[in-house]
Structures are given as C-alpha cells and as structure tokens.
Structure 1
Amino acid sequence: MVIGIPKERKVQEYRVALTPQAVGVLVQHGHKVLVEKSAGLGSGITDQEFKNAGARIARNEKELFKKSKLIVKVKEPIAEEYSLIKENHIIFSYLHIAADKKLVQALKKSKCRAIAFETVELPDGSLPLLAPMSRIAGRLSVQVGVHFLQKSKGGKGVLLSGAAGVRNGKVTVIGGGTVGYNAVLSALGLGADVTVIDIKQGVLEYYYDRFEGKVRTLPSYPEVIEKELKDSDLVVGAVLVTGAKAPKVITKKMISNMEKGSLFVDVAIDQGGCSETSRPTNHDSPVYKVNDVLHYCVTNMPSLVSKTSTYSLSNVILPYVLQVADGKIDEAPSILKGINIDNGDLLINLN
C-alpha cells in the first residue's frame, strides 16, 4: 500500500504523524511511503532522514494525496484539504468530528474511510492511540497554568507552590481519566493544593489510595463544582466521553463566581469543551477572558512540545498503521471501532 504522510496545516501544528524509524518499518513490510516536503521540520526531522529510511519526498500535499491510499495525519483535515480527499482514501488521524459538522459533511461527501485515533478502543475500554497525547496534554495543562497565572500574562499573580507564610495555589481537575491523572501529577509536583472531581466513585477511590489522601476527591455534582471553582486558581477541564461531545459540566455562572485572573484550561476543547464559556483557540491567540477569568482552549496543545509528541505518537500508532496498510482492518476489532465514517455513512454517535 502507498502511505502518505502530509505536512500538518493547522495553526502552529509542528508534529508529524510518523518518524523515520517508523517509516523504515513500513518499508521493510513492503509498503511505499510518501512524505510531504518539510513535513518533519517542526519536530526536528529532515527530509533526508525520511529518505534514508526509504521514503520518497512529495513536492506538495496535492501530489501526496493523489499518489497515496492511506493518509496518516496528526490532526483532522482542515477546509483547504477537503477537496484532496477521495473515495479511495483511508484517513487515519485524530478527527474529533463531534465538534466539527463541516468536517463530518466533507468526509461523508468524499466517501472515504475515516478512522479516528481517539476512538480506536481495546476490549477493556481503553483508548491506546489517544492516551499518549492525553498524557502530554495533561502535563502541559499545568505548565500552561504556571505561565498564564503570572500577572504579566493577565493572571492573578499566584505561584502554585506558594511560599513561606503564603497559601499554596489551588488546582481543581475535573475528570479523573488520563488527562486528569497527568495534570494531578504535575500539579502535585509543583506543590499545589489539588482536588479531583469525577462522576465515578471507583475513580475517586483510586486517587485517594494512589496519592494516600494528598489529593482531595469529590463527586461531580453541580454545587460541588461551583464551590470548588470559586476557590481555585487553576481549573483543568479533562472530561471525556469517547467519540461524543464533551458534556458542559461548567456553567457561565460558575465561571463568573471565580476570582479575577484565575485560569481555566479546557483540554476537552477538541470534543467541544466542557464549559458553556469554552470556544476553540490556537497557539497564535491562546487565551481570552470571560468575566475576567482567563480561558485557554487550544485544540492542539501537544504541538507545544512537538518533538516529544511526535515520537510518542509515532511509537504507539505504528502497529495500527501496519494493520491498516496490510489490509487487516477486519481482523482488528479495536480498529473497526475507530471507523467514524465509511463510504458516506456516519458510524458513531456524536451526542
């Protein structure tokens, strides 16, 4: 199969889907790999490195799509790429179609097969291709928080670790999945006072045991969320419903009760966001204010650490790319679950 790896078009998206090492494995299995010119530069990978691994370099994206059957991307196709997608294509990338009706229509119209990394699901319910970027986004959420809580950046001027005679910063994480867990690790490491809110009792018990009571655990009721947000310096939205829109667990009223200069980082923004006040932003203009509360809602956070993210993503998706390229999709139930759109039909519930 001819596999195409395009250069990402999203604003400040520096990742590339596969590394030269992964390309080498695909070539060894008898596949041809096309990489668009300069696709890896944002992650410190040159065209020559891809060529040394056995890939051919496509002059532009149009050539790459024309000559390839399997398109492996990081982020969902943007509007300027829609016309390049044809019926013979298999698109394998993060898609997050629940938050993008125009993308849904474009993929249906093309009659391609669109497989989303984020809905590939193992028998135990885990999401192996979403996990690596969720870990990175969770850790970045606190790193971003440290930056934007600075007074010069519009924040309230709070140090999460606190200081002698001064309270520690308070971090509230809503959602105890992979993103939430990694946000907690980072926040605790900085010395913050951390609370986790989740709808599942089993998750709360895990956090209580894992962190020996050092992390406060609370059930996800509206009145609980409202009270915790009011006292928080940094709130991380880490709510996930596989393949569907994120539930709006935070209301405008809750945001309005937060202290001026507090920060809300919505990692769930790829799936529409978990607050009524959330709207997508990008790295060129990452934050905005609602009732004097900063909102960071960048839809491709891991691009901030593109080299780490590229290698982490490539390592985990390679076995699945091989299965798709080898024509073994029907033998892989986890990949079948990842098919969002096929031959014009929407195959997952977006609500």
Structure 2
Amino acid sequence: MKIGVPKEIKNNENRVGMTPAGVFELVNQGHTVYVQSTAGEGSGFFDEVYQEAGAIILETIQDVYQSSDMIVKVKEPIQEEYDLIQPNQIVFTYFHFASSEALTLAMLKSNAVCIAYETVEDEDGTLPLLTPMSEVAGRMAIQQGAKYLEKPIKGRGILLGGVPGVTPGKVLILGAGVVGVQAAKMAAGLGAHVTIMDVNMKRLRYVNDIMPSHVVTEYSSVYNIKKHIQTHDLIIGGVLLKGGKAPKLITRAMLKDMRPGTVLVDVAVDQGGCMETTKATTHEDPTFIIDDIVHYCVANMPGAVPYTSTLALTNVTLPYVLKLANKGWEKACAEDASLAYGLNIVNGKIVYKEITEAFEWGVEYYA
C-alpha cells in the first residue's frame, strides 16, 4: 500500500502522523511511504532521517494526497485539504466530527474512508488512540491554567500551590476520566486543593483510592457545580461522550457566580466543549475573556509539546496503521472489532450513529 504523511497545516500544530520508526516498519513490510518535506521538523524529525528509514520525500501536500492510498495524520483535515482527499482513500486521523458540521459534510462529499482515532474502542470501553493525547492534555490543562491565573494575563493572581502561611489555590475538575485524573495528578503535585466531579461512582471510587487526601471527590450535579464554581480558582472541563458532543455543564449564566479572574480550561473543546461560552482558540491566541472570566480553549493542546505528543501518539497508532496497510480497511476492520469502531464515514455514508445525532439529520446519511 502507498501511505502518505502530510505536514499538519492547522494553526500551530507541530505534531506529525508518523515517526521514522513507523516508516521503517512499513517499508520493511513492503509498503511505500510518502512524507511531505519538513512534515516532522516540528517534532524534531528531519527529512534526512525519514529518508534513511526508507521514506520518499515529496515537496507538496498535494503530491502526498495524490500519491497515497492511505493518509495518516494527526488533526482533522481543514478546509484547504477537503478537495485533496480522493474517493476510496483511507484517512486515519483525529476527526471529532460531532463538533463540525462543515467537516462532516466535506468528508461525506469526498467519498473517502474516514477512520477516527478517537472512536477506536477496546473491549473494556477504553479508547486506546485517544488516551495518550488525553493524558497530555490533562496534564497541560493544569500547566496552562496555572499560568493564566497570573494577574498580568487577567487571572486572579493565584499561585496554585500557595506558600507557607497562605492557602493553596483550588481546582475544580469536571470529569474523572483520563483527562480528569491526569489533571488531578498535576494539580495535586503542585499542592493545590482539588475537587474532581463525575456521575460515575466507580470512577470516583478509583480516584479516591489513588489520590492524596487533598484531592476530594464529589458527585456531579448542577447544584454541586454551581456551588463549587463560586470558590474555585481554576476549572477544568474534561468530559467526554464517545464520538458525540460534550454536554454543557457550565452555562453562560453561571459565569456571574464566579470570582473575576477565574480561569476555565475546556479540554472538551474538540467535541464542542462542555462550557456554553467555549469557542475554539489556537496556541497563537489561546484565551479570551467573558464577564471577567478567562477562557482557555485551545483545540490542539498537545500540539504545543509535539515531541512528547508525537511519540505518545504514534506508539499506539502504528499497530493499527500496519493492520490497515497489510490487510486493507475492510479486512482489517472485519478482523479487529476495536478498529471497526473507528469507522465514522465510509464512501459517503455515516457509519457512527453519534455523528448524525449531533446534527439531527435523521437517517439521510446513515448507513
């Protein structure tokens, strides 16, 4: 099979879909790998290293798409890429269709085979290709939130860990999944007081068992959320509905109950955000302020640490890339139920029901 690795062109996205090690494995198994020139530089992988691993370097993104049976990348195609995607071409990447009707319609029109990292699902319900980026984003949420609590950037002027004689900052985490647990670890490590909320008591029991005493758990309800937002300095949104839109747990009206300079970090922004005032931002312009509340809603948070993120991502995607390349998508998905969950759009039809539910399209596009 001919596999293409284009350079990511989303704002400040420095990750790359495949490392030289991945190229070596594919070439060693008889496949051809095209890598766009400088595609890996942001992650510290240069063209010469890809060539040594057996890749063919192509100059333009158009060349990569035109030459490849399968595209392996990191982020969803953006508008400039829509017309480059060919019928029957496999596109293996993060899509997050439920948050973008335009992207969904474009991929339907393309007649491509869209396999989404974020919906590949193991037997136990875990999401193996989303987990490493959720781990990065959860940890980064505290790192970024701590920075934006500083007064020069309109935060409350709080040091999360406090100092002797001064109480530490307070962090509220919505969701006890991978993002929430990783955020709690980081915040606890800084010495902050952490409250983590979820509707899943099994997850809350797990968090209660593994976290230190200054991390407390509480059942998530509108009443409890409204109570805690009044006293917490940093609020992390880490809620996930597999393949669907995130629920709006914090409304615009709730902002008035928060103290000026409170920081909101919505890690669920890829799925539409779990805060009503969320709108996607970039690393170039990461924050905005509404009612004196600082919002950080960068849609590709792990892109800021591309070396770590690329290695973490490709560690888990490569085995699936090899299956797709060796067997073709139909046989690979027939033999691997986890990979089959990744099928979102196939030749102009949606095959993942949460997408149609997000847009209320009924059965028009559903296969």
TM-score normalised by structure 1 residue count: 0.99
Structure 1 partner of 2:313: 313
**In the aligned structure 2, how far is the partner of 1:21 from the partner of 1:11?**
26
**In the aligned structure 1, how far is the partner of 2:255 from the partner of 2:207?**
26
Structure 2 partner of 1:347: 351
> 1:71-220, aligned counterparts within 5 Å?
71-211=71-211, 213-220=213-220
Residue 214 of structure 1 and its aligned partner are, at CA, apart by 3.2
Per-residue CA distance 1:138-177 (angstroms, 9 max, x = gap): 0000000111111111111100011122111000100000
Q: Which of 334, 340, 349 is the matching residue for 1:330? A: 334
**In the aligned structure 2, how far is the partner of 1:298 from the partner of 1:154?**
17
**In the aligned structure 2, how far is the partner of 1:212 from the partner of 1:294?**
28
- Mark the runs of 5 or more structure 1 residues left unpaired by the alignment: none
Please say which of residues 312-321 and 201-210 is displaced more in the overlay: 201-210
Secondary structure of the structure 1 residue equivalent to 2:305: helix
Secondary structure of the structure 1 residue equivalent to 2:63: helix
Residue 85 of structure 1 and its aligned partner are, at CA, apart by 0.6
Give the length in aligned residue pairs.
351
**In the aligned structure 2, how far is the partner of 1:258 from the partner of 1:231?**
7
Residue 244 of structure 1 and its aligned partner are, at CA, apart by 0.2
- Residue 207 of structure 1 aligns to which amino acid in structure 2? V
**In the aligned structure 1, how far is the partner of 2:29 from the partner of 2:233?**
51
- Residue 322 of structure 2 aligns to which amino acid in structure 1? L
Structure 1 partner of 2:361: none
**In the aligned structure 2, how far is the partner of 1:321 from the partner of 1:81?**
21
Structure 2 partner of 1:299: 299
Residue 31 of structure 1 and its aligned partner are, at CA, apart by 0.8
**In the aligned structure 2, how far is the partner of 1:101 from the partner of 1:90?**
20
Secondary structure of the structure 2 residue equivalent to 1:156: coil
Conserved 8 A contact 2:185-2:211: no
| Percent of paired sites with the same residue | 46
Residue 192 of structure 1 and its aligned partner are, at CA, apart by 0.2
Residue 212 of structure 1 and its aligned partner are, at CA, apart by 5.0
- Residue 22 of structure 1 aligns to which amino acid in structure 2? G
- Residue 323 of structure 1 aligns to which amino acid in structure 2? K
Question: Which contiguous aligned blocks of 4+ residues in structure 1 show a shift greater than 4 angstroms?
Answer: none
Please say which of residues 248-257 and 141-150 is displaced more in the overlay: 248-257
Secondary structure of the structure 2 residue equivalent to 1:141: helix
Structure 1 partner of 2:39: 39
Conserved 8 A contact 1:18-1:314: yes
**Alignment partner of 1:224 is 2:228:** no
Per-residue CA distance 1:23-72 (angstroms, 9 max, x = gap): 10111111110000100011111000000000000110101101101100
Structure 1 partner of 2:242: 242
Conserved 8 A contact 1:208-1:214: no
Residue 329 of structure 1 and its aligned partner are, at CA, apart by 2.6
- Residue 264 of structure 1 aligns to which amino acid in structure 2? L
TM-score normalised by structure 2 residue count: 0.94
Conserved 8 A contact 1:230-1:254: no
Secondary structure of the structure 1 residue equivalent to 2:103: helix
Secondary structure of the structure 2 residue equivalent to 1:92: strand
Structure 2 partner of 1:233: 233
Conserved 8 A contact 1:195-1:218: yes
Residue 235 of structure 1 and its aligned partner are, at CA, apart by 0.5
- Mark the runs of 5 or more structure 2 residues left unpaired by the alignment: 359-367
**In the aligned structure 1, how far is the partner of 2:90 from the partner of 2:43?**
24
Residue 213 of structure 1 and its aligned partner are, at CA, apart by 3.8
Per-residue CA distance 1:154-212 (angstroms, 9 max, x = gap): 11110001112211100010000000010000000000000000011111111112125
Task: Supply the RMSD in Å over aligned alpha carbons.
Answer: 0.8
